[in-house]
Amino acid sequence: MESLFRSIRAYTIEISLLLALAGAIGFFGFLGYGLVQPTPDVVTFSGEEALAHVETQLAFGTRITGSAEHKAMGDWVIRELSEAGWEVFIQPFEPLETVDARNILAVSGSGPAVIIGAHYDSRIFADADPNPAQRDQPVPGANDGASGVAVLMELARSLDVLASGKTICLVFFDAEDNGRIPGWDWILGSRFFVSRLSALPKCSEPEFAVIVDMIGDADQQVYRERNSTGYLVDAIWATAAELGYGEWIVNEPRHSMLDDHTPFLEAGIPAVDLIDFDYPYWHTVDDTLDKVSAESLARIGRTLEVWLEKGAPYSRE
Domain ranges of the chain: 3-34+43-206+279-302
Report field, pTM of the whole predicted structure over 0.95: no
Please report, to the nearest 10 degrees, the dihedral formed by the alpha carbons of residues 168, 9, 47, 302 taken in order.
20
Give the total residue count for the chain.
317
Return the pLDDT at 317: 76
Per-chain mean pLDDT for the chain = 90
Return the pLDDT at 28: 54
Contact (Cβ atoms closer than 8 angstroms) between residue 211 and residue 37: no
Quickly count: other Cβ atoms within 10 Å of residue 27's Cβ.
Answer: 27
Q: Which residues of the chain have pLDDT under 50?
A: 1-27, 32-41
DSSP states of the chain as a string? --EEEEE--TT-----EEEEE-GGGGGSEE-----SPPP--S----HHHHHHHHHHHHHT----TTSHHHHHHHHHHHHHHHHTT-EEEEEEEEEETTEEEEEEEEEEE-SSEEEEEEE----S--TT-SSGGGTTSPP--IIIIIHHHHHHHHHHHH--HHHHTSEEEEEEE-S-B-TTSTT--BSHHHHHHHHTGGGSTTTSS-S-EEEEES--BSS--EEEPTTS-HHHHHHHHHHHHHTT-TTTEEEEE-----STTHHHHHTT--EEEEE----TTTTSTT--GGGB-HHHHHHHHHHHHHHHHTT------
Return the pLDDT at 42: 58
Return the pLDDT at 29: 57
- 209-213 and 271-275 beta bridge pairing: parallel
Contact (Cβ atoms closer than 8 angstroms) between residue 94 and residue 188: no
Return the pLDDT at 21: 33
Radius of gyration for the chain, computed over Cα atoms and rounded to the nearest angstrom? 18
pLDDT digits (tens, 9 = 90+) for 7-40: 333 333 333 333 333 333 344 555 543 334 444 4
CATH of 3-34+43-206+279-302, one of 3.40.630.10, 3.40.50.720, 3.40.50.11540, 3.30.450.20: 3.40.630.10
